[in-house]
Amino acid sequence: MATPEPIARLISHVILDLDGTLLNTDCVVSQVLKPFLVKNGKKWDSKKAHKLVGKTHLMKQQLLWCNIKALPGANRLIKHLKSNGVPAALASNSPGSNIEAKISCHQGWKESFSAIVGGDEVEKGKPSPDMPGVAAGKAAGMHVIAVPSVPKRTAEFSSADEVINSLLDVRPEKWGLRPFRIDDTLPIEPWFIGGPVIKGFGRGSKVLGIPTANLPAENFSDVLSEHTSGVYFGWAGLSTRGIYKMVMSIGWNPYFDNTEKTIEPWLLHDFGEDFYGEELRLVIVGYIRPEANFPSLESLIERIHEDARIAEKALNLPLYAKYTDSPYLRNSLKEDNSANGNQSVIDSK
């Protein structure tokens, strides 16, 4: 990620893009385009499709706007700007009527913007300064933060003052506002996934010395599309063993250049044996950092252990520790464990 230059003064106003910045429209557009092209004998090219996203509204007019979910961090940022009295505007290449339809499904959004401008209200769209994007924002003399909606394309936004992986990486303290993060972690709305533990790539224990309890990614395609890549943490429940602290990566693991997005949890406990096939349930409660590449295997391993130390400490905070009482975790434990009084949280020490 690009190293941002310090902002010399507090921000006075913010202009936000909509599609691919606040709303996960890129994913929905792909879901619509791909079957249409395949049905008509055309070859699907995700790279070409992503180049079209955000530059025209024509392909999006038939989408069911209310099915489009907010991207991670969007609600938090909008509420934070409003509560701190920072005027925010919304600018999109979509026509005004489509913008209204999209944001009407998200409570409080419309009232949070001082101005809403659509592509049909200006003479020139992106990258003209009439309609802010990265190039447009810079042309207008603004401080620009880019949030690439397509993985591995951050180099294309080199003109931005700052490039971040997602809105989870916004640091409002740089603007003189109250920070989001607590002890190097970002609290998030918890999400829940589970399934049988499967064999992964075989590199966790053998290459990294870090045994991960892999889940079948194909079972979580919707979850993977909704959540940004990065390092998260939370609690893990194993049906016959107990509840454990956990740190987890979600993404493509750039060092190994994965072709598919994966979920790889590391339970912070020395089990001494494999538990393939056992039911694993995860409650993800916080975010640590964006996905990143590393110059060496040693630096990757060092960073993973640092992530574990951060998660280990943070999960002792009441803010995160309360989720050990989640019925999703507790109900997964076998009755014989309950009868024996074994439903305790097991520390990694």
Given the DSSP bridges, would you call strands 262-267 and 162-163 parallel, antiparallel or unpaired?
unpaired
Catalytic, out of 26, 264, 291, 307: 264
Catalytic, out of 17, 26, 162, 291: 17
Catalytic, out of 19, 26, 291, 307: 19
Given the DSSP bridges, would you call strands 279-290 and 186-196 parallel, antiparallel or unpaired?
antiparallel
Active-site annotation holds for 19 = yes
Active-site annotation holds for 264 = yes
Active-site annotation holds for 169 = no
Token reading at 114: 């001082």
State the catalytic residues.
17, 19, 264
